[in-house]
Each structure stands twice: as structure tokens, then as C-alpha cells.
Amino acid sequence: MKPTHVMLVSLSSVLLACELPPPSFDVPPAPPPLSTNGAPIAVATAPPRAALGTEVVVSGAASSDPDGDPLRFRWGLAGAPGGDEPTLTATTGAQTSFVPLVEGQYGVGLLVDDGELTGEGVIVLVSVDPPNASAGADQLVHAGDVVTLDGSDSSSDAERELTYSWAVELVGSEDEPVALSGATSLTPTFVPVRAGTYRVTLIVDDGLASTPDTSLVFAAGGAVRSLPAQDAPRVYNYFTAVWTGSDVILWGGHFFNGKNVEGFRGGHRYNPAADTWTAISTVGAPLAYFSHTAVWSGSEMIVWGGFVLADQGGDGARYDPVTDTWASMTTVGAPTPRTQHVAVWTGSRMLVWGGNEGADEQSDRNFVNSGGAYDPVTDTWSATSIVNAPLPRVFHAAFWTGTRLLVWGGGLTEPGFTTSGGLYDPATDTWTATSTNGAPPIIGGMLRTAWVGSAMMTLDADLSLYHPDRDGWTVASPIPEGYPSEIRYMSKRYAVWTGGDEVIIVGDVGAVVYRPAADEWTTILSMEGIPPDRGFAAALWAGSGIFLWGDDGADGFVLAP
């Protein structure tokens, strides 16, 4: 059978060719279209860097939905530096915010949905990295020098341009203006017009955040002046020195000539204003001339006790520098002759206490805890009570507190040096023991103490202070770490009260000023020309500077702050 060929034509062609009307028949409805809802797109924006403590706004306004559906927002904290857990101001809505409190990177997450689909979440990061500020290293200069500050070690992690703002203030005198040249430059300068510690503050700003930094400039003051050699006395040990308000008066002393002890029954006056020495009269002077005591009464130097070579001198005398004359003192009712005792001036009387009644200070030990009060107006003595008095001792410290005699430390017959003491009230003739709780040890048998206005300072390793008003001990704050190491760790030799609110601590390589009431260190004094330590020297405030004199073979000097 032959194959049949069929020609296919379209239905519409046939209908047109035959000019027939189109057929009429029912067409079934089309199926519903498939869903085309698209997931929304989350977009969170925030400043890439922010400043500490300022509000950071995070926005989701740039988020979108491909179908134009309304969006719902959900916010959450995605990360924060350790030590900070900020709270978002909103967890829904197109915007939220937070306040960063520590440096580091913060992350905020955002999810958006259109009620049916949730888009992929996003996290926006905000860095809190203020610029690094560096006010430079601490400096030690002399007052009057030009000081150059340097902020060149400051930087910005964001490599933004920095601006600088400097300020300088004198510690303890913050209201006193300090002129600064180029206060907005990288390297400004200033001149410390007087000695002290200057606090330097630098604020570095990169346009988004600012950072402060501080450094210290120690302006050393003080001038060391050697005492003149013309008419000066020979340098001795075991002498006394008093300040009259215009002159330093030295009396007595001895020195070892290599074979024997030689004494000096004489004295000199030093006038700082004129920088001159003058010998004083010895007519009517006391016989004893070393290991004695001397106090200034306001008009006279009162000398009492001490050795006359191999024996004690139980006499005393009063020296008037205006007339250059001596007046004798009664021995009636006076304490027994002694050496290595102490004496203080109360404002109306001289109090004498303790010491050694032995004829030889080295081999004959007869320590006592008795004393007496001397009235120069009536030239009379009265004994002090020994009831509850401290143990007998020598080489102890003694100060007048304003109302009582403070006795502390010293050497006992046995077992050696002590940290005990007592307070004597002349109004009631009574003793009260001082607390030993917190009292420092006496190192090497060398007792170095000073009265500093309302407390006794001991120059132990920690600088301890005894407060008689509350019978307690405190420890001074250490010399600040910012100070040069040679000053911080120097061996402390002398503490000299200036009569105001400052104490000058003189060491083997330097001197610093300390304010006990505020417990602060303020000034480094120039050390150029200061002689080495001497064990038996006298250091006292001479109106405008420290007068230091004594010890075999050592000269003296004045250190003016």
C-alpha cells in the first residue's frame, strides 16, 4: 500500500479561505498563576567611626522590598568590646541607636520582613578608636630654661588629619597663668619662671574624636652657695646651731686630730644676708662645749650641759647676740650634769630631758629619764615628773608640739635603739606614752627626724610621720614615679621645715620639696655643688634657705629654694 500524504494547514487559514464564520465552543479557564513575592533586602547604615560617649545612630531606611511591600524591622546587638554592654534605644522600627563607652568595634544586626518572608540579616560595624595622643616624655629642666614640648608621637589609626591643643599649669598654683607659645602647634614652648612641677596637657582631635594626654616638666630651682672661708670656724662635730631670725649661731664642738679629741670652747655667727662670719665672745660662756644643747628663746641662745673633755659640765649660760655678752644660769634645782640629752623651747621656758650622767660618753653609761624646766626671766629651775616618763635614753629626738614636749626614739642601755617615746605636758607635769603601732624601725642606729609643723617626720625608707594630736603614725606617699630615678631612690639625709607648709628633703644626690598637709611632692631643687653626706652636721632653716654645716673636714653651704 502506498503511503498517504496529508497536508496540514491552520484552522484560521481554512476559515479565512472559505469565508466561514468562526466556530463557537467553550474554552476552559486558565489555571491561577504561581506566586512571585520576593524576599526583602536589609540594608543597615551607620558612621564607620564614632567617639566615646556620643550617640551612634543606625538606620535601616535603605532597606527595600522587590514587591513594594511594607517592611518590619528587628534590631539586635551583634558584638561589643569587653567591658561594655550598650543598650539599643529601639529593637523595632527603621532606626535605633546606642552610646559606646569603651574603645573597640561594635556590631549592630538588622533583620527585615514583609509579613511573609524574612530577608537575609546584615551587620553594620562601628569602630570607636580615638586618636592616640602623646604629650612627650617627662623633662627635668632648670627654672628659666626654654622648654620645648613635642606631640609628634601622636597618631590616628584612621589616618585623619590631627589638630593639637596644649595647656600648662603649675602644680599647686593652678590659678597662676603659664604663658605658652604655639599652643596649637606640634611643638610649642614655654618658660617655667619659677621652680616647681608643671603639668602639661595635650588634646589631640581628628575631627571625630579627641584624646588627652599629660606629661610633667620638673623645673629645678634653688641655688647652692658655699659658705665663705674668711673668718669661718673650723668644722667640728657635736656642736649646736640656732637661728635667731637674722643669724645662725654656732657654739662648741670637737674633732679628732688623728690621736686625740680636741674641743672648741667658742662660737661664731653667720649672717646670710651679708654672707659673713663673726666670732662671738667667750667671756662668761659655759665651760662645756660639746654634746651640749642650745635653744633660741627669741632674744637669747641658752646653752646647757655637755662635756668638758673627760667630765660633764653642769653649768649653762645665756648669750645675747645684740650685746655679744653671756649671762650665767643658776644651778639651784637644775638637773644633774649630763650629755647627749635634749632641750626644746616652749615659748617661755627651756625643757631639758634624758641623757647620760656618765663621765665618759662611750664607756660610762648612766642613762636617765629625768629633766627640768628653766625660766630665763626668773633664772629658776623646776624638775619634771618621772612618773610614766619614757625609758632612760640618749641620742633621742625631741620637739615642741605647741603644747607638749615630744620625745621619741634613741638609744637605751639595753637592748639598743627603741621606737618608743612620750609626750610631756608642762601644764600638768604629766607624761603620756606615744604609740608604737606603725612606728618605723631605726636603721643603723642613726636617728634622723624633723618637726614639720604638726607632725614629726622620720627619714626612714618610707618617710613616716607621727601625729601627736591623734597619737598615730602615717606613711608619706612615695616620691612620684615620674621623678628622675636618681631622685626617687636617693638616700634621704635631712628634713628641714621651712616654717610654712613645706619640708625640704635633702638626699645624697638631690633635694625635693614635700607638703605634709597635702601629702604631695612639688619641687626638685638643683643639686649642683651640694657637698656629700656628713653624719654630724646641723641642717636648719635660715629664713630663706637651708644652712648646713659641720662634720670633720666638710665645708658648709646654703641651699636657697
- Complete DSSP assignment for 476-506: PPPPPTTS-HHHHTPPEEEEEE-SSS-EEEE
Q: Enter the C-alpha cell of residue 25.
A: 465552543
What CA–CA distance (Å, rounded) separates 100 from 106? 8
One domain, residues 330 and 210: no
Q: How many secondary structure helices (H) and strands (E) does the chain include?
A: 2, 44
Asked if residue 545 is part of any domain, the answer here is: no
**Residues 6+ away with beta carbon under 8 Å from 463:** 457, 475, 476, 492, 505, 514
pTM here is 0.69
Asked if residue 456 is part of any domain, the answer here is: no
The CA–CA distances, whole Å, from 359 to 23, 292, 339 equal: 157, 14, 9
Cα-based torsion angle of the residue sequence 493, 497, 498, 504 in order, rounded to the nearest 10 degrees: 30
Asked if residue 376 is part of any domain, the answer here is: yes
Q: Which amino acid is residue 353, in one-letter code?
A: W
One domain, residues 189 and 156: yes
One domain, residues 314 and 440: yes
Check: CB of residue 75 under 8 Å from CB of residue 33. Answer: no
Q: Which of 68, 97, 128 is the last residue of a domain?
A: 128
Check: CB of residue 391 under 8 Å from CB of residue 377. Answer: no
**DSSP one-letter code for 162:** P
Check: CB of residue 301 under 8 Å from CB of residue 323. Answer: no
Asked if residue 510 is part of any domain, the answer here is: no
Q: Which of 73, 108, 128 is the last residue of a domain?
A: 128
Q: What is the pLDDT of residue 535?
A: 59
What CA–CA distance (Å, rounded) separates 262 from 501? 40
One domain, residues 405 and 310: yes
What CA–CA distance (Å, rounded) separates 505 from 546? 10
One domain, residues 91 and 146: no
One domain, residues 93 and 196: no
Write down the H helix ranges in 58-171. Answer: none
Strand order in the sheet with 180-181: 147-148, 189-190, 180-181
CATH of the domain at 367: 2.120.10.80
Asked if residue 388 is part of any domain, the answer here is: yes
Q: What is the pLDDT of residue 312?
A: 59
Q: Which of 220, 249, 281 is the last residue of a domain?
A: 220
Asked if residue 46 is part of any domain, the answer here is: no
One domain, residues 328 and 187: no
Q: What is the pLDDT of residue 28?
A: 61
Q: What is the pLDDT of residue 152?
A: 95
One domain, residues 303 and 371: yes
Q: How many domains does the chain have?
A: 3
Check: CB of residue 533 under 8 Å from CB of residue 490. Answer: no
Check: CB of residue 290 under 8 Å from CB of residue 309. Answer: no
Q: What is the pLDDT of residue 237?
A: 82
Q: What is the pLDDT of residue 471?
A: 97
What CA–CA distance (Å, rounded) separates 366 from 387? 19
One domain, residues 167 and 114: no
Asked if residue 50 is part of any domain, the answer here is: no
Count Cβ neighbours within 10 Å for each residue of 186-212 and write b for 16 or more, e otherwise. Answer: eebebebeebbbbbbebbbbbebbbbe
Check: CB of residue 533 under 8 Å from CB of residue 444. Answer: no
What CA–CA distance (Å, rounded) separates 129 from 113? 34
One domain, residues 329 and 407: yes
**DSSP one-letter code for 532:** P
Helix (H, G, I), strand (E, B) or coil at 261: strand
Q: Could you tell me if residue 151 is left (phi over 0), alpha (psi between -120 and 50 degrees) or otherwise beta?
A: alpha
pLDDT tens, N- to C-terminus, the chain (561 residues):
333 333 333 323 432 343 435 444 455 665 655 558 899 999 999 998 887 888 999 999 999 999 999 999 999 999 999 889 899 999 999 999 999 998 899 999 999 999 999 999 999 999 888 889 999 998 888 889 999 999 999 998 767 789 999 999 998 787 888 999 999 999 999 999 988 889 999 999 988 788 999 998 988 877 788 888 899 888 778 899 999 999 999 999 887 777 777 778 899 999 999 999 999 999 999 987 788 999 999 999 999 998 876 555 668 999 999 999 999 999 999 999 998 999 999 999 999 999 998 765 555 678 999 999 999 999 999 999 999 999 999 989 999 999 999 999 999 887 788 999 999 999 999 999 999 999 998 765 567 899 999 999 998 777 899 999 999 999 999 887 767 777 777 777 788 999 988 999 887 777 888 999 999 887 777 655 566 655 567 889 999 888 988 775 556 778 877
What CA–CA distance (Å, rounded) separates 22 from 9? 16
Q: What is the pLDDT of residue 11?
A: 29
Select from 288, 294, 210 the least CA-distant residue to 244. 294
Check: CB of residue 82 under 8 Å from CB of residue 100. Answer: no
One domain, residues 103 and 191: no
Asked if residue 548 is part of any domain, the answer here is: no
Structural domain span for residue 111: 56-128
Report residue 114: phi and psi, to 5°: -110, 15
CATH of the domain at 199: 2.60.40.10
Cα-based torsion angle of the residue sequence 14, 15, 19, 20 in order, rounded to the nearest 10 degrees: 130
Q: What is the pLDDT of residue 327?
A: 97
Select from 432, 295, 437 the least CA-distant residue to 374. 295
Q: Enter the C-alpha cell of residue 144.
A: 628659666
One domain, residues 110 and 187: no
**Residues 6+ away with beta carbon under 8 Å from 182:** 166, 188, 189
Tell me, rounded to whole angstroms, the distance of Cα 461 from its chain centroid: 16
